[in-house]
Amino acid sequence: MNDTGDTGDGTGFDGPPGDHGADFGDTDFDGADFDDGLLEEELRQAAGVLDPLPSALLQIAVDAYALHDLDARVAELTFDSLVDGIPVRGATDAPRMLTFSAGEVTLDVEVGPQGLLGQVLPPQSARIEVLGGPQTAATLTADDMGRFTADTPLSGPFALRLRAGGDVVVTEWLRA
Amino acid sequence: MRIGIGPSAAYDDVPYTRGGTVERSEVGALVRSAVDGDAAAWKAIVEGLGPLVWSVVRAHRLSDADAHEVYQTVWFRFAQHLGRIREPEKTGSWLASTARHECLKVHRNARRLMLTDDPQLLDRVSEDGAPEQSLLEAEEAAAQSERVRRLWQEFEELGERCRQLLRVLIASPPPSYQEVSAALDIAVGSIGPLRQRCLRRLRARLEARGSM
């Protein structure tokens, strides 16, 4: 209020967007710029106090190094009904459909409130681990037709690790 | 832990060169070391860029539970892609962009499912804020704490665009404009002018409340 030059009341800066460039080097502008830096820094410290990265999350990310697996191939997400799907009228609680591909191996997965329904292509029996993080895993088996199911609903981050033949394929991490 | 003593030291020497360039220049080398099995390098990456990922998630106004899960998903996927990151020096942008995409998916999903928890976190104080807590309780810190609270409240009540941009910018150490661009899908060239406008709008709000 005491400095009409840079009260930054919003409207004052709604002029031509490029015009501040001409002010560069002007002392008023430098002063305002300096104040912006201070305010941003003050806000940064406020965030550090009121909304910091929880230490538990920091630790989980540190532990995630264990998920670094050079031997496995990553099956990339090639279809996600949440992003690519065309909403069907009336089908608001349809299961989420996901497709992962790594070379010739494809995994189709349906994630619903009841759990997981999946299909390995080409059809083959396989051992499938449902990963929930660096520590947790549940094991499933795909039958000769490549079908597999899990009765526990997925929650949080997950990935599927598939062992078929001598091959290990891990799906891209997603949030259920 | 990292708050209180840590944050200022990291960028005191680079006050207004945007982008914590000092720390960021090492990211490429750290990623290459982590690929080669160096767990300490991985930890340094997490400590350097974890706050950025958190800021991006927070900028998207998710519930606490969603925010935590998105944060984890981003790091799990980064660990998984570690050996395949094409430009290791741009890891910050990769993380920011991945976080953004996961946040947008949460919003899409939320349209289908009813949200049960409240994403508004105006008066929330961090759960694991023990070191700050004792500081804030100290008699002489009361005024400062009130100022911080008011600043945060005005910040939370800024328009959505400004709140989002500033929430990413105030990650600690400060992100580069490339990272901010990846986090919010806005052109690098527009970040400076928007930042200026948003900070001045915030200052105007504080002044109107007599808080400056």
Q: Round to whole Å and give the CA distance between B202 and B163.
A: 9
For residues A75-87, one letter each, b for 16 or more C-beta atoms within 10 angstroms of the residue's C-beta and e for the rest, the string is: bebeebbbeeeee
Q: Which chain B residues are Cβ-neighbours of A49 within 8 angstroms? A: 3, 126, 129, 132, 136, 148
Q: So what's the pLDDT on residue B120? A: 40
8 A C-beta contact, residue B76 and residue B98? no
Q: Which residues contact B76 (CB under 8 A, 6 or more apart)?
A: A64, A67, A133, A134, A157, A159, A173
Q: Does B170 touch chain A (CB under 8 A)?
A: yes
Selecting from A43, A70, A157 the residue whose C-beta is nearest the C-beta of B73 gives A157
Mean pLDDT of chain B: 81
Q: DSSP 3-state assignment of A167?
A: strand
- pLDDT tens for B34-68 read 999 999 999 999 999 999 999 999 999 999 999 99
Residue A30: other Cβ atoms inside 10 A: 12
Structure ipTM: 0.80
Say whether A170 and B102 touch across the interface (CB within 8 A): no
Partner A, chain B 35-94, Cβ-Cβ below 8 Å: 35, 39, 42-43, 46-47, 50-51, 53-55, 58, 68-73, 75-84
- pLDDT tens for B103-144 read 999 988 776 554 434 444 333 444 444 555 565 566 666 777
Q: So what's the pLDDT on residue A139? A: 92
pLDDT beyond 60 at B9: no
Q: What is the mean pLDDT of residues A32-51?
A: 92
Q: So what's the pLDDT on residue A31? A: 76
Percent of chain B at pLDDT exceeding 70:
73
Q: Where are the domains of chain A?
A: 17-62, 71-175
Say whether B69 and A49 touch across the interface (CB within 8 A): no
Q: Round to whole Å and give the CA distance between B89 and B34.
A: 13
- Measured CA distances, B42 to A56, A90, B70, B86, B183 (Å): 17, 46, 19, 17, 21
Q: Which residue has the higher pLDDT, A18 or B162?
A: B162
8 A C-beta contact, residue B204 and residue A8? yes
Q: So what's the pLDDT on residue A70? A: 78
A77-81, A128-132, B11-15: segment of lowest average pLDDT? B11-15
pLDDT beyond 70 at A113: yes
Residue A64: other Cβ atoms inside 10 A: 24
8 A C-beta contact, residue B70 and residue A175? yes
A172: its two tokens: 């891209």
pLDDT beyond 90 at A128: yes
CATH annotation of A71-175: 2.60.40
Chosen from B75, B106, B165, B195 to mutate, greatest number of chain A CBs within 10 A: B75
- Measured CA distances, B202 to A8, B195, B205, B206 (Å): 8, 10, 5, 6
CB pairs under 8 A between A and B: 190
Preceding peptide of A113 cis, ω within 30°: no
Q: Which residue has the higher pLDDT, B125 or B25?
A: B25
A68-77, B4-13, B65-74, B201-210: segment of lowest average pLDDT? B4-13
Band of pLDDT at residue A55, cut at 50, 70 and 90: very high
pLDDT beyond 50 at A117: yes
Q: So what's the pLDDT on residue B209? A: 85
